[in-house]
């Protein structure tokens, strides 16, 4: 049973109020590989060892062990601020495929398009889902650059 006030709050919610607002619809701990397309280049970041207790997971790129926390933080921070079904378009800022370590190794394809100087549009598995601050996308790009340009 719920109180009348709680009932009224739930009934006042729209579909978008109840939607998952994070762009990555999975826990990062389930990501085993990131295939990233950025600036015309392809990069593959691979988890080679799962987290164990206090020890973080081990990730590699180009045969070298890397620190993934910047990418993880930036990717999990991507959050839709306005949902829309309008087709995403414009210049692609970054696209990536997250391969998950779940049954049948499902993939989540995320493409982030520049809408204007302050916002980007997100497409997940080919479906436009909405807008998010461009600053969040820039943080993700910078985190990837910190790995691949060093």
Cβ 138 vs Cβ 120: under 8 Å: no
What tens digit of pLDDT does each residue of 32-53 get? 999 999 999 999 999 999 888 8
Average pLDDT over residues 101-113: 92
Question: Is 79 strand, coil or helix?
Answer: strand
CA dist., res. 73 & res. 52, Å (int): 19
pLDDT score of 142 more than 80: yes
Q: Which residues contact 51 (CB under 8 A, 6 or more apart)?
A: 29, 57
- In the predicted model, is pLDDT for residue 18 greater than 60? no
Residue 15, pLDDT score: 61
Residues 6+ apart with CB under 8 A from 143: 70, 71, 73, 74, 75
Q: How far apart are CA 150 and CA 132, in angstroms?
A: 28
Which among 2-6, 123-127, 136-140 has the top mean pLDDT? 136-140
Alpha carbons 115 and 124: distance in angstroms, whole number: 16
The residue ranking higher by pLDDT, 10 or 26, is 26
**The model's pTM:** 0.85
Which letter does DSSP use for residue 91 in this model? -
11 has a pLDDT exceeding 90? no
Reported as a single tens digit per residue, the pLDDT across 51-103 is: 888 888 999 999 999 999 999 999 999 999 998 877 767 899 999 999 999 88
- Closest by CA to 24, choosing from 115, 96, 104, is 96
CA distances from 125 to 65, 110, 122 (A): 29, 6, 10
Task: Give the chain's length.
Answer: 150
């Amino acid at each position: 049973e719920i109180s009348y006030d709680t009932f009224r709050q739930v009934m006042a919610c729209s579909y978008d109020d109840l939607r998952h607002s994070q762009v990555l619809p999975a826990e990062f701990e389930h990501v085993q590989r990131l295939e990233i397309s950025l600036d015309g280049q392809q990069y593959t970041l691979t988890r080679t060892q799962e987290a164990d207790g206090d020890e973080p997971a081990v990730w590699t790129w180009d045969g070298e062990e890397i620190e993934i926390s910047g990418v993880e933080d930036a990717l999990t921070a991507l959050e839709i601020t306005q949902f829309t079904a309008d087709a995403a378009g414009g210049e692609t800022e970054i696209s990536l495929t997250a391969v998950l370590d779940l049954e049948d190794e499902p993939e989540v394809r995320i493409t982030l398009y520049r809408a204007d100087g302050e916002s980007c549009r997100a497409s997940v598995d080919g479906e436009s889902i909405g807008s998010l601050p461009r600053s969040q996308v820039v943080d993700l790009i910078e985190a990837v650059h910190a790995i691949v340009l060093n």
